[in-house]
Amino acid sequence: MKKIAVFASGTGSNFTKIFENIKKNLIPAELSCLITDNSHAGAIQFAKSNRIPVFTISPGNYSSGPEFGEALLQIIGEYKIEWIVLAGYLKKIPDNVVQIFSNRILNIHPALLPAFGGKGMYGIHVHEAVLASGAKVSGVTVHLVNMKYDAGPIVMQRAVDIEDCSSAAEIAKKVLRTEHDLYSIALQKILTVPSRVIGNRVVFGIPD
Ligand code: GRF
């Protein structure tokens, strides 16, 4: 059973879904704690009512990125965390955390990377850009986190047909449904199937 920490800044619907799928034994993991930067995150209430320890750690309270990273690493160390799962976490993970957790941090992005990713591309901004581009297909990407925004090795992707969507909100809603399925599938796979990073892809079935 791998110990995971989920990081979330907002509603936490992906966090909730992962929690439920762990409870159903679909993901062999122990959800050890929730880390957030936002004391109003919806995820907090859900975590508390399910007796998951919650830590609110705001980068604004630290004088540098590395110090913020140290604060995160302290909790992660305390709970013996093996994997970090970002679920709508809006802050950049400090480099010292990425280094220590190299290829053990997962993120979900609500579009098909490398399109519509990078700094400033989060939440509804992603879906607005997709709509403005005229694309008829968007999707979901689960990837490993490296030091560049949305650029780490791709674990899994799934396309979502958005031809019937006429607003960014409609795209967001449709894409989120796929996120809820794909994140648990990707997490289960990466925790159980040997894999190796080749180029910018996670290739399964080949031990590292
Ligand atoms: C999701 O669209 C996720 O892809 C993005 O932020 C959103 C979080 O949604 N990174 P929720 O908080 O899990 O409901």
* CATH number of the domain residue 140 falls in: 3.40.50.170
- Among residues 107, 109, 106, the alpha carbon closest in space to that of 127 is found at 109
Mean pLDDT of the 68-96 span: 97
For residue 175, what are the domain limits?
A: 106-195
Residue to mutate, 176, 180, 182, ligand 1, most ligand atoms under 8 Å from C-beta: 176
CA of 122 to the centre of ligand 1 (A): 9
Both 12 and 38 in one domain: the answer is yes
The mean pLDDT of 105-117, rounded to a whole number, is 98
pTM of the entire predicted model:
0.96
Residue nearest to atom 5 of ligand 1 (CA): 88
Domain total of the chain: 2
Residues having CB closer than 6 A to ligand 1 are 8, 10-15, 87-88, 108-110, 123, 176, 179
Q: Of 80, 101, 122, which one is at a domain's C-terminal end?
A: 101
Last residue of a domain, one of 101, 122, 137: 101
- Examine the fold and report which residue of 62, 82, 101 is the final residue of a domain before the chain moves on: 101
Q: In this predicted structure, what is the pLDDT of residue 207?
A: 76
pLDDT score of 142: 98
